[in-house]
Amino acid sequence: MPAISTSAAALTPSWAQRMWRATDNVLTRALATPLAVDDYLQWFNPLWSSRTIRAEVVAVQRETPSVTTISLRPNAHWPGHRAGQHVLLTVQCDGVRHSRCFTIASGEQEPLLRLTIKAHEQGLVSREVLERMRDGDLVELSAPQGEFLLPEGDGPLLMICGGSGITPMLSMLRTLAAAGQQRDVVLVHYYSTAAEALAVEELAVLAAQWPQLRSLGCCTREAGQGLNGGRFSLAQLQALVPDAAARQWLLCGPAGLMDAVQQASVEAGVAPPLSERFELSPPTVVGEGEVHFARSAVSADGEQGGSLLELAEQAGLTPRYGCRMGICQACKCHVDSGLVRDLRTGEVREVRNESVQICVHAPAGPVQVQL
């Protein structure tokens, strides 16, 4: 597909990025001290930065009672994205910076970046977006990340998603539509109530213009809503999409749906779906040994339990983090030495002079972290 070249281009800084990066050098840093070069650039324009990706909110659209789409105009450091990737969004909540990971909903060719965000009851960033974000606000972004990408070629696809898990699929469909590629795609989207269904009108318009696209809505809590009620099952899928086994499966949504579809792929004898999982419930692990945070000269007892990130926070430190589920890598810290347990797999390994995602690793013995 044509847009794949976007990623290759992103690997090489543009002339604009090189120009901005050149403003941060030994001389300008010396002149700016005790402030940073970016502190002066912001006086002229809050979007200006030597390296940081900043973006202006140019539109805020309420999609459902709990879902908001924000349209962002990034500065010159934004490298472009691939359909299906996610980004770390940083906002200020009550004067404190918080970052969370969200999938990009816009197509690769769109001039504005769109994030469609579902607010969760305990979600600091998602609730900030839902309740307080306005046109003209400024946010920070990471570079786009993730390997959940639109498969190359022209083979038929089966996209299965639940709730806001539809956002990477929308990015893929918007990218294909803008490129004029009417690929054979079936989208099966699960939502709890009709009021929470996303992009219904847009998908209907796309399907009317794109004969090879079928969009099937499945409402799980309201009888008579959507084409098919009830939660996912292999029998339901085979009734909806008789040629499902001949398609490449893509999957994104809540953990329950993800697990059910993964099991169905085994029973159907098809390849495991390409998937994007944004929910993780690491087991509660009792750690072992002492964790020493070298830069802060603070130690914590690993037997308090929890990840290295949680132990650092319990010790009064404020390490940077994003998703807290091992996806965005914002929490990576240098570990001098020690034994750590990967909370996702249970694997214990020895680490020496290595960067580790502290949100998904717990001590399995003495550990020294550069925090």
Amino acid at the residue 359: C
pLDDT at 234: 94
pLDDT digits (tens, 9 = 90+) for 70-122: 999 999 889 999 999 999 898 887 777 777 889 999 999 999 999 999 998 87
Confidence of residue 3 (pLDDT cuts 50, 70, 90): very low
pLDDT digits (tens, 9 = 90+) for 32-46: 777 777 888 888 888
Question: What is the rounded distance in angstroms from the CA atom of residue 259 to the CA atom of residue 28?
Answer: 53
pLDDT digits (tens, 9 = 90+) for 143-153: 898 889 999 99
Distance (Å) of CA 136 to CA 25, 72, 97, 139, 254: 30, 10, 18, 10, 32
Closest Cα to residue 86, out of 278, 251, 324, 359?
A: 278
Predicted confidence (pLDDT) at residue 9 exceeds the cutoff of 50 = no
* Tokens (6 digits) for 11: 């690997």
Confidence of residue 4 (pLDDT cuts 50, 70, 90): very low
Mean pLDDT throughout 247-275?
Answer: 94
Question: What is the rounded distance in angstroms from the CA atom of residue 21 to the CA atom of residue 25?
Answer: 8
Confidence of residue 178 (pLDDT cuts 50, 70, 90): very high
Sign of the C-alpha dihedral, residues 236, 240, 242, 246?
A: negative
- Give the pTM: 0.74
Mean pLDDT throughout 120-138?
Answer: 89
Question: What is the rounded distance in angstroms from the CA atom of residue 189 to the CA atom of residue 7?
Answer: 28
Name the residue with higher pLDDT: 195 or 7. Answer: 195
Mean pLDDT of the chain: 86
Mean pLDDT throughout 298-322?
Answer: 84
Predicted confidence (pLDDT) at residue 328 exceeds the cutoff of 80 = no
Predicted confidence (pLDDT) at residue 19 exceeds the cutoff of 90 = no
* Candidate from 16-20, 189-193, 245-249 with smallest mean pLDDT: 16-20
Q: Hunting for tokens 């998904």 — which residue is that? A: 360
Strands 67-74 and 213-219, by their bridges, are unpaired
Confidence of residue 229 (pLDDT cuts 50, 70, 90): low
